[in-house]
Amino acid sequence: MRHLATLALIAALGGCVSLAPEPEVPAVVADLPPAYPDMDAGGDYRPAAWWTGFEDPVLDTLVADALDANLDIVQAAARAERAAAQARVARAGLLPSLEGSAGASYSDTPVSGGAFANFPGAPSRIVNETYSLGLAAAYELDLFGRVRNDLGAARSDAVAAEYDLRAVRLATAAEVISAYFDIVDARFQIENTLQSVDILAERTDRTEERYLRGLAQSFELYQVREQLRAAEASLPAREVALTNAEGRLATLLAQYPETLSEALRQPLKPELVFDPVPAGLPAELLAQRPDVAASWQRLEAARQRIGARRAERFPALRLSASTGTQGASPVDVVDVGQNWLLSLGANLVAPIFDGGRISAQVAAARATYDEAAAAYGQAVLSAYREATVAIETYEEQRQRYRLIAAQATEAQASLDLQARRFNSGVGDYVGYLDALRSYTQVESSLSAAGRDVALARLGVHRALGGDWFLRPEFEEETSE
């Protein structure tokens, strides 16, 4: 018992040892700028369910359905669960193992040919029957932190996998929103093109009449016909764009396009949002962006694996104990007072020569850490670049939309003027058709600009990351 107490004291003292290097922040991360350039909107970034600002219940439903059914999310969730299970496997190394056993043996061997075969009264055969019950325990004292570092690395991997899951959820929601606005714009473009074809067909008929009467030149007729054919030729491409967007959305929802048509049957009318997005500070990207957080956790896992591999150079102390009973019959085996047995053992094992295996493993772990550090720095650089570009793009797209909206106002005024002139007999119908054609072209551009504004706003939120979905249980899980 004195020896066991001494070993327990060694274990307590050795449990504080860790050979992992101290955490280091890559220089490129330490030099992260304190603010975004040309950022006018101040305030904290609040991303939760931001797309509800479009006030479109169809879009809200599609995002919710995708988060429940998307197969990429299912795969990422399975990977996160597997990583969590592997962390539990690593944690088992800190605890003793205990095994129970029960055995029975029977032997019946001849005595003939043996040393005592010719003794008077010797039996001709020997029968042996043995029964046993036992418990065996084993434990390795983690003197130099190998098990604890492997456990820390496994836990960091599990947290990284959870962040990966969050990144997939964000990407899925973003792709749903993108596909949805592509569908809205594609539908409008098809409707607008059909209207343009009707206008140009009527314009062509009028020009042909004027040409036959000698009031129009052949160049004008050819030009109008060319515009008609160009409008007709654009329809297949717009139909393909709609089919493609609907197919993307169906895949995100783990459905076939045919089953999605019911959800998209009603009019799709999202309200555009032009408010600036308060982006907060660049340093907040380190926690807001799940891909950056996952990269940091993988860096932590690589750091702790260096400590685990270093610890393999030092002795390992393994303790074992077994107890039980043994007897010649089932009755004897339960007679603990007479037939008990006990075995205690301690083994100190240290590597002497391994052909450089441990040194190579330490070098490989260090190289993995250097790779992870570079990957983390790259993730931070990419996140900052994406955020600054997204913020600038959103501002430019808002300005572009305002300019096209002003152009649409002028086109509407011109159309109204031509309509009044025609109704009063001052203007001709051809002039009205030209004004109507110009108006439909501007409306087409305005629809595309509205889609671009929505996607640019999506780009800002996607670049900034953040918890779009309120999931407080994640914070509880990662803090344990």
Q: What is the pLDDT of residues 283-309, one digit of tens each?
A: 999 999 999 999 999 999 999 999 999
Give me the number of domains the chain comprises: 1
Residue 117: per-residue pLDDT: 56
Residue 110: per-residue pLDDT: 77
Q: Residue 269 domain-assigned?
A: yes
CA max distance for the chain: 146
C-beta neighbour count of 27 within 10 angstroms = 9
Q: How many residues does the chain have?
A: 480
pTM of structure: 0.85
Cα gap 206→191, rounded to integer Å = 23
Residue with tokens 């969730």: 77
For the residues 230-245, what does the mean pLDDT come to? 94
Q: Residue 224 domain-assigned?
A: yes
Determine what percent of the chain is predicted with pLDDT higher than 90: 64
For the residues 182-197, what does the mean pLDDT come to? 95
Q: CB neighbours of 232 closer than 8 A, spacing ≥ 6?
A: 197
CB 401 within 8 A of CB 407: no
Residue 15: per-residue pLDDT: 53
Q: Residue 320 domain-assigned?
A: no
Q: How confident is the model at residue 1 (pLDDT cuts 50, 70, 90)?
A: very low
Give pLDDT tens digits for 312-362: 999 989 999 999 888 888 887 777 778 888 899 999 889 999 899 999 999
Q: Residue 21 domain-assigned?
A: yes
Q: Residue 463 domain-assigned?
A: yes
Give pLDDT tens digits for 79-123: 999 999 999 999 999 999 999 999 999 888 776 655 555 666 667
Q: Residue 357 domain-assigned?
A: no
CB 459 within 8 A of CB 395: no
Out of 117-121, 262-266, 310-314, 404-408, least confident range: 117-121
Q: CB neighbours of 173 closer than 8 A, spacing ≥ 6?
A: 51, 63, 66, 67, 468, 469
Residue 126: per-residue pLDDT: 78
Residue with tokens 């591999």: 309
For the residues 222-227, what does the mean pLDDT come to? 89
Give pLDDT tens digits for 39-83: 665 678 889 999 999 999 999 999 999 999 999 999 999 999 999
Q: Which residues pair with 347 in a beta bridge?
A: 318
Domain that holds residue 61: 10-94+145-315+367-479
CB 184 within 8 A of CB 264: no
Q: CB neighbours of 44 closer than 8 A, spacing ≥ 6?
A: 278, 280
Report residue 385: phi and psi, to 5°: -60, -45
As a whole number, the mean pLDDT across the chain is 88
Q: Strand, coil or helix: what is 175? A: helix
Residue 185: per-residue pLDDT: 96
Q: Residue 431 domain-assigned?
A: yes
Determine what percent of the chain is predicted with pLDDT higher than 70: 91
Q: Residue 350 domain-assigned?
A: no
Residue 207: per-residue pLDDT: 85
Residue 474: per-residue pLDDT: 42
Q: Strand, coil or helix: what is 320? A: strand
Residue 116: per-residue pLDDT: 55
* In the predicted structure, residue 7 carries a pLDDT above the cut 60: no
Q: How confident is the model at residue 480 (pLDDT cuts 50, 70, 90)?
A: very low
CATH number at residue 66: 1.20.1600.10
* Among candidate residues 21, 18, 17, 19, the one with its CA nearest the CA of residue 373: 21
